[in-house]
Structure 1
């Protein structure tokens, strides 16, 4: 008897179609549903929509899967199989899981695409309650339990974390890092079809996007994703670690892997990415700090965020411990980089507008920090990141934005708010030099919006932050600002540009 298995658009790699023994199941009809309602509900970045649809259609062609284009998932499922039974792997969003729970014909199998089963994490979390579930503790546990970058019972090289070596500013005077450019795929007939469909949706169906589309710069197939992984490990991983947290205006990619979208589409598995990086170090091809930094991003941070998305529950979505309610300004919603004078914001917004991507420091310390300083609604910020990034999914952005970027959970995920004044951006980037604002200026026409915003944020939440050991010293600095009233006035002006 032939069974039908439904693949969601982020379940596209071979580890989603393999049996437990690693083979491909026989007598299985593969089903992929393209639901247009997904794009009506949210105004996605067009490059993100293009990548997702291209990846889904490519995978359907590879598998010979039934590809159903429908208005909703329910309608597509009814068209494909009627009331016949269907299996599916656990989805990556709560909304999708609610849908599956409401469909009696659907059998949900355990999630794939992650290193740690949710039941394993629940046991680990129970062992660490009621203390904070620290990412570093989780990372070390995953490393030891999965034998990743270990020498016997000890971490390779004698240290778990090489973050101290991975915080160097960009090389003085450099406009770009001296590394080979990343792999970029070539578009094909499927991409042309996707672009024509997106044009038609905008023209005829009232579906709207933000950002620019094309040419496609991220992998949409397993073969492209493996090629991107090969190129990164061979050409870029060695230089990744040292400048992992640095920013160069003319080099938005630097040595970053650009593999997050491939991992989140399911085209790559975290296990193979981690294994490739570790082997490159053991073969003497890359330094340990680079291999460890990349591995930490995957089996530390990515895995941790996935687990917390489910562990914290649905109410976490509405967390707003700081009481921030300001709406997102129009220039931010429209990715209008030309409407912003601060060079850091303008540069990063242009990167998002043009590619749907920028690396983790611009996300956290430019976009997220600005939103936090000026009190933007964290739920709206989360939605913006979800819609605007090619690697953005609900499970990715909810903990990253609510917990880390916006500190809206009051410290359940991180020990302090991640925000600074302009001095940090000036040290870790080349963004401040040509800017009309001065990174250290708090007042006057050249006062930096980030420096002004930083002190305003500390003042607004001084009671809470004074009680935090990691921010108490900064709060005490407010007492030395004889120009604080002027700083707060300028912050109010910047809040509504």
Structure 2
């Protein structure tokens, strides 16, 4: 097991000699290869802060707090070792006001700086806060590029200007051509298809077994104790003594290489599969490292692309993974910046139900939800189908308030930062934007979950029953959802045969389904 990073508070100060420029590094801007660091200058002081403003704006998973603080401390040590001047405000530092603006005021005065620089934040609230701070400042303030994404903030908005639907597939093809990824001559897609999603929907039969967990191990017991002593609230299992996430660029690169070597060949066909026997399956587990910028998406795409040409992985697996990075990740970021701040308030179906208490414990008799939520509480991670078609599916069918769902997703997942999580939750998962992002609500009855997982085996509820106390709640909720929202959804061409089936359904059968759904929604905590 690797040793913990040093207690940064014991070395948080840098020399108080005056400097011209103060440069702010946020907790999700941990790229040691940023051009800022290409030159060492005594005239520049970097600042990093562990602050309650960032830990407390939503209730976070314990592992998320530990990971961000530990990764920040790792980068701080690297920058100091390289010769950069850096002032680190630890969470328990006596000088730490716990406010971004107040800390900046104090530090700018301390180092007598005449310039302030920061990299473009990825979250709207921080972007607005730093813009307002800069506007009110009497010194020269500049925002620099984070040098991370394939696209500018406004690129998707420009591409989709004048269109009601922002189709990801159109954006993805644009990105493939622009960046010359998986293309043959005349910008034709390799293999003759742009998208191999239909080849990537197999359930996992139990073989091949998931590869070993190659992630590093850290002991962050001391850091976790510091976080607790600071009074920061959290939920989920900290696992501080055996912490298993890459916390610097070298570890993140090792994790990426291990994924390509051991898991990528099977990623494609089983990327949508779910199993109570395996929480990792063939997923890369690099999303945290990527979203805090220890890795660049370009190098991830290049390495995965190279695996195809080396004959190591098949085209459906490679294309499916690249689509997530080059397509979906950049696409949701474009939607976020085009639609904020109003996007966060969308509630197309006017859903207002509170989250059931078992969202915080995993203690429900529904085995699929118990497995997915318990896994999330234990590991701060669930893959996209667990998030979308188990947890999100239930939330939408049950009518949970989408802003509450959004805050839960933002808090529980180690890779969740608002720019990527909010469009995924409110748009893709909850259809709260009315279909700007998703072309239809992504909901299902029990049959889909049973097809893609082993969750239904041994469940308290019967996947085949639609009414009665032992019937799977998804079944009645599914039909009731469409019946309740016929005025909003019946004209959607992508919904298929749902409404013709509803109209042919015996009235007594439909009423029994709706009565069962009403009963379920009235006692969500008891499921």
- Common fold: TM-score over 0.5: yes
Secondary structure in 1 aligned to 2:318? Answer: helix
Secondary structure in 2 aligned to 1:337? Answer: coil
Contact 2:59 2:234 in 1 (8 A): yes
Partner of 2:30: 12
Q: What are the superposed Cα offsets for residues 360-385 of structure 1, whole Å, 9 maximum, x if unpaired? A: 00100011010000111111111110
Contact 2:155 2:334 in 1 (8 A): no
Partner of 1:44: 60
* Partners of 1:326 and 1:122 in 2: CA distance: 33
Contact 2:397 2:443 in 1 (8 A): yes
* Partners of 2:27 and 2:54 in 1: CA distance: 11
Deviation of residue 80 (structure 1)?
2.4
Q: What are the superposed Cα offsets for residues 70-108 of structure 1, whole Å, 9 maximum, x if unpaired? A: 211122222322273221110011110111112234311
TM-score normalized with structure 2 length: 0.88
* Partners of 2:378 and 2:223 in 1: CA distance: 18
Q: What are the superposed Cα offsets for residues 403-447 of structure 1, whole Å, 9 maximum, x if unpaired? A: 110001111111100000000001111110111212221112321
Secondary structure in 1 aligned to 2:365? Answer: coil
* Partners of 1:39 and 1:488 in 2: CA distance: 42
Partner of 1:123: 158
Secondary structure in 1 aligned to 2:483? Answer: helix
Residue 511 (structure 2) pairs with residue 485 (structure 1): yes
Contact 1:182 1:232 in 2 (8 A): no
Please, which of 25, 44, 61 is the counterpart of residue 39 of structure 2?
25
TM-score normalized with structure 1 length: 0.93
Contact 2:467 2:516 in 1 (8 A): yes
Contact 1:34 1:73 in 2 (8 A): no
* Partners of 2:320 and 2:370 in 1: CA distance: 28
* Partners of 1:416 and 1:116 in 2: CA distance: 26
Partner of 1:405: 429
Partner of 2:78: 62
* Partners of 2:408 and 2:74 in 1: CA distance: 27
Secondary structure in 2 aligned to 1:231? Answer: helix
* Partners of 1:272 and 1:229 in 2: CA distance: 10
Partner of 2:386: 362
Secondary structure in 2 aligned to 1:150? Answer: coil
**Unmatched segments (≥5 aa) in structure 2:** 1-18, 81-85, 91-95
* Partners of 1:77 and 1:33 in 2: CA distance: 10
Please, which of 339, 342, 348 is the counterpart of residue 321 of structure 1?
348
Residue 295 (structure 2) pairs with residue 268 (structure 1): yes
* Partners of 2:150 and 2:406 in 1: CA distance: 25
Do the aligned partners of residues 115 and 415 (structure 1) sit closer, same or farther apart at CA in structure 2, a change above 3 Å counting? Answer: same
Partner of 1:193: 222
Structure with higher Rg: it is 2
* Partners of 1:11 and 1:239 in 2: CA distance: 31
Contact 2:347 2:402 in 1 (8 A): yes
Contact 2:349 2:432 in 1 (8 A): yes
Partner of 1:183: 214
**Unmatched segments (≥5 aa) in structure 1:** none
Do the aligned partners of residues 58 and 5 (structure 1) sit closer, same or farther apart at CA in structure 2, a change above 3 Å counting? Answer: same
Contact 1:436 1:446 in 2 (8 A): yes
Please, which of 190, 197, 213 is the counterpart of residue 156 of structure 1?
190
Contact 2:154 2:337 in 1 (8 A): no
Partner of 1:92: 122
* Partners of 1:192 and 1:439 in 2: CA distance: 43
| Larger deviation, residues 298-307 vs 433-442 | 433-442
* Partners of 2:156 and 2:511 in 1: CA distance: 48
Secondary structure in 2 aligned to 1:116? Answer: coil
| Larger deviation, residues 218-227 vs 468-477 | 468-477
Deviation of residue 119 (structure 1)?
4.0
Do the aligned partners of residues 177 and 254 (structure 1) sit closer, same or farther apart at CA in structure 2, a change above 3 Å counting? Answer: farther
* Partners of 2:256 and 2:20 in 1: CA distance: 35
Secondary structure in 2 aligned to 1:241? Answer: helix
Partner of 1:467: 491
Count, aligned residues: 479
Deviation of residue 269 (structure 1)?
0.6
